Every structure is written in structure tokens, then in C-alpha cells.
Amino acid sequence: MSTSTPESSLQPLVRLLDHARHVFGGLLVVTIVLFCWQHFGMEKVVELTGDHFPVNIEDDRGGGGASVGTLERKGHDLIVHCRIARKSEWPYCKLTFDLTKGGRGIDMSRLDYLTIDGKYAGPGTSRFGLVLADAEDGLTKLDQWQTYKINQIDALDLPPNGRLLVPMKWFGVAQWWKDMVKPTMEHSAVGLDNVARAELMLSGGGKEGEHVFTLHSLRLHGKVISRDALLMGLVAAWVLCVVVWLTILTLSLRTQLKDSKAAIALLSEVNKALELEARDLAGQAHIDPLTGVLNRQGLRAALMSTSNLMSDPMAVIFIDIDHFKCINDTHGHDVGDDVLRKFANVIAAGIRSSDRLVRWGGEEFLIVCPMTNVYQGQILAENLRHALHRQTWPVGLGVTASFGVAQHHERDEVGVVIKHADEELYRAKQGGRDRVCAHTPMGMVVTAEAA
């Protein structure tokens, strides 16, 4: 009867570890190569000018104005002649690109920026605006222009060299479109996944006379694979390798050491490692990586898993940092990120452990307060507003916020109370910002003015 020594029984495990080093070493090399390729290459460029998409010129005569726009092609260039006449309040000419092919527009949600190369001549300024009209399922009717979501940027100026880079995150949903269409929360955020039309609006600063805008090129830029998608794919590959390796390791240990107490203890540790890894990955999907608070997916999970979170009364507080775009534009996005992180910490420190703080998007945050009525929610919002005044912010900034408060009522969907809170937030901003507005159960409106 043959027996095996401990050294011989561990030889398969040693070989397995040796193979694992090669596999993980190779995966590390692939990870580094892909990240370098994504950063320095992997470019995707969509050319709108030239003969790639139909283009036409429009002016304000359809709305009672008297401005006249004409379009001239000279090789690759598009030359817009716009004779501005101040018969209407907002005279303009606009260059329109039809981006629909096969019934679908362009998905710009994964693009990073667009570039404009042009030249202006005339009595006014080179100021112009950009519009990206998005067709959204459940909102857009193809024969009704106003149902296309209007994402726009106003007041762009050509630099002296005529070349302008515009990040896609500068686009925002036009407020006049929101006021006219009154979209649901689902359709209120920027959407660029099905852009059917791009418009370049010229006004020449409102100066009457002949304005000439020569557009050499209008291009969209992005990556074939976005950084987030690449990161998710690599994380999945690493997790798969870890899980497969741990699974093989577990099977090997069970085969080699099935009768050993040491083997049982080691298997238990391996299983714990797998469980912890799965919990960590699940938790990361619910947390906003910048501020460390819940994201929308995290709020959805909390509402589904926590039975008393929806118990009436329940208050919802919508918060928007005042003039945050100015902070980013003036001090840069690194300072903006620092402000967002500190803002989340200040708000988190001022609420109860039973409350849930959510980063709703951009500079907007949401607080869900169980067992809290609208009056208590208003008091909490006021306390948080004053807490912001007491803080020391990056680069000496003075950061304030506007608050909208609403209360959940029996049989109401969560979306209803969030919509009411958003309406109150909008009223707070319209009223001058740095204030709290609340929607009471009886339909009365309570406003807390800025101190």
C-alpha cells in the first residue's frame, strides 16, 4: 500500500499556483496595454460637414422676423450668409444638420467632445449657440418638433484661431423647452443617445447687417470603447479569473486534502473570500464613486429592501448646489469635484442614520427621510442650509444650495413625491436660490427665505 508524503500531495497545488502567476501576469500586461491604447488612441471621429449629412439653412422669417439666411458651399466649407434684421425680438439664422439614417439618429452619449473650425466676419460678434435635438422613446413624436428634447449650449465664441473644443458635458436641457413640454423626471435630464438633428444658431450679437460664418468642419470626438466600459470589462475579466482560479483551487484542495482539518479550514477561508468579493462588487454598483453616497441604483435597492423606508409619513428633500457650473468654469473640474465631495460630507453629517442621501446627478442630491412629515423635512432642510454657510470651502468659495421639500402620501408612487420636491426646488431657484421651499400636504406652499 503506497502512501504520499505532504510534499508530494502539495505538488499539484504548487503547479496550480505557478500557472496562476502566468495567467495573472498576462492579464496585467493586457490591462496596461488596453489602458494605454484607450488613453492615447482608440479615437472615434464623426464628421458632420462635407457630404456626410443633409444640411440646410433656416432663419426667423417663419416666426414673423425679417432676417434672411442663405447657404453657400465652397469645396468642403459651408458658408452661411445671414442678413440680420431686428423685426423680431430674437433675430437669428441657423444651420441645421439632419442626422437620421435608417430611422435612427446618432448616439452621442459615449462621445467626449465636439470641435468647430470656422471663421466669422460681420458687424457683430462671433457668438453662436449649439442645439442637439434628441428623439426619446415615450416622448418624441416625429411629426412634432417640440417633442424632441432640446439639449443646448448658448453664448459660444470662436477663439482667434477659429478652432473651438466643446465638451459634451457642457450641454444642458433648455429651460424654455422644459417650461413648454413639462417632461417627466425620466425625460428631464440631458439625453444624447438618439440625436436626430444638430443646429448651429447665429445671431451676430443682434447687430443688423450682413454676417458671414464660414464653417470649415464640425466633428464629434470620442473613444471606440469608453473608459468606463473598458474598466468594467477589465474588472469583469479579473473577477472571472479570480473566481475561476479560486474555484479550481478549491477543487484541488478538496481532492488533495479532503480528509484533513487543515483542508476544511482553508476551504472555508476561500469561500469567505468569494462571498466578500461578491458583496464588495454588489456594494460598489450602488455607490457614487466621487462622493461615496448612494446613487440612483442604490436608492432603488434601499427602497426595495428596507421595509420602513416607505412608511408614512416620509419626506423627500431635493437639493441643488447654487451656481455650480460657474465653479467648474472658473476654478476647474478638480475644484468642482472637491466641492461635491465636501458638500456630500456636510449633508451626510447633518441627517439621521435612518435617512438616505442620494446623488441624483451632477450637482443634484436627494434625501429620503422616513417617519418625517413635510414640516419636519423643512426644518431639516433649513438646518442643512445653515450648515453650508458655516463651512470653509475650497479656494475660499462660498457655497450655498437651494432645497425643495415634499411629503409622500398614501398610495402615491415615489415618483410623485420626487416630482413635487423637484418643483419646489425649481421654485426656490426662481426665487433667488439659497432658500427652502416646501409643498405641504394640504396643497399650501411654505417658503423659507434665505437668511
Q: What's at 292, amino acid-wise? A: G
| Judgement on whether residues 432 and 323 belong to the same structural domain of the protein | yes
Per residue in 396-449, pLDDT tens? 999 999 999 999 887 778 888 999 999 999 999 999 999 999 987 654 445 554
**Coil vs helix vs strand at 230:** helix
pLDDT value for 260: 63
Question: Is pTM beyond 0.75 here?
Answer: no
pLDDT value for 52: 84
| Judgement on whether residues 84 and 107 belong to the same structural domain of the protein | yes
| Judgement on whether residues 200 and 238 belong to the same structural domain of the protein | no
| Judgement on whether residues 133 and 257 belong to the same structural domain of the protein | no
57 with 70: CB under 8 angstroms?
A: yes
pLDDT value for 274: 42
Split into its structural domains, the chain has a count of: 3
Residue 325 lies in a domain: yes
For residue 60, give the CATH number of its domain: 2.60.120.430
| Judgement on whether residues 245 and 390 belong to the same structural domain of the protein | no
Assigned C-alpha cell, 184:
417627466
| Judgement on whether residues 159 and 189 belong to the same structural domain of the protein | yes
**Coil vs helix vs strand at 58:** strand
Residue 160: name the closest of 220, 118, 202 by CA: 118
Residue 190 lies in a domain: yes
| Judgement on whether residues 402 and 264 belong to the same structural domain of the protein | no
| Interatomic CA distance for residues 421 and 429, integer angstroms | 12
Residue 349 lies in a domain: yes
pLDDT value for 408: 87
Query: Taking residues 20-42, what's their average pLDDT?
Result: 78
pLDDT value for 42: 75
Residue 192 lies in a domain: yes
Name which of 184-193, 204-213, 225-234 the model is least confident about.
Answer: 225-234
Per residue in 234-251, pLDDT tens? 888 888 888 887 887 777
Distance of CA 284 to the CA centre of its chain: 17
Residue 287 lies in a domain: no
% the chain with pLDDT above 70: 86
Between CA 232 and CA 236, with CA 235 as vertex, the angle to 5 degrees is 85
Helices (H) and strands (E) in the chain, counts: 10, 18
| Interatomic CA distance for residues 261 and 265, integer angstroms | 6
Q: What's at 214, amino acid-wise? A: T
* pLDDT band (50, 70, 90) for residue 2: very low
| Judgement on whether residues 152 and 248 belong to the same structural domain of the protein | no
| Interatomic CA distance for residues 416 and 408, integer angstroms | 8
Assigned C-alpha cell, 30:
493586457
Residue 289 lies in a domain: no
CA-to-CA separations, 382 to 148, 260, 391, 403, in angstroms, rounded: 38, 63, 15, 8
| Judgement on whether residues 349 and 270 belong to the same structural domain of the protein | no
% the chain with pLDDT above 90: 54
Query: Taking residues 311-335, what's their average pLDDT?
Result: 93
Query: Is residue 278's pLDDT more than 50?
Result: no
* pLDDT band (50, 70, 90) for residue 189: very high
Residues 6+ apart with CB under 8 A from 267: 250, 253, 254
Ramachandran angles phi, psi of 36, nearest 5°: -65, -40
| Judgement on whether residues 216 and 328 belong to the same structural domain of the protein | no
Residue 92: name the closest of 206, 215, 214 by CA: 206
Residues 6+ apart with CB under 8 A from 262: none
Mean predicted lDDT score pLDDT of the chain: 85
| Judgement on whether residues 208 and 90 belong to the same structural domain of the protein | yes
| Interatomic CA distance for residues 269 and 60, integer angstroms | 72
Ramachandran angles phi, psi of 138, nearest 5°: 85, -5
Query: Is residue 3's pLDDT more than 60?
Result: no
Residue 288 lies in a domain: no
Q: How many CB atoms lie within 10 A of CB 280?
A: 9
Residue 1 lies in a domain: no
Residues 6+ apart with CB under 8 A from 200: 80, 94, 95, 128, 129, 130, 213, 215, 218
Name which of 36-40, 120-124, 239-243, 429-433 the model is least confident about.
Answer: 36-40
| Interatomic CA distance for residues 232 and 289, integer angstroms | 14
Residue 344: name the closest of 362, 369, 323 by CA: 362
| Judgement on whether residues 330 and 239 belong to the same structural domain of the protein | no
C-alpha neighbours within 13 Å on the C-beta side of residue 396: 0
Assigned C-alpha cell, 199:
443646429
pLDDT value for 282: 52
pLDDT value for 155: 85
Per residue in 126-174, pLDDT tens? 889 999 999 998 898 888 888 999 999 988 999 999 999 999 999 999 9
- The domain containing residue 99 runs over which residues? 47-223
For residue 336, give the CATH number of its domain: 3.30.70.270
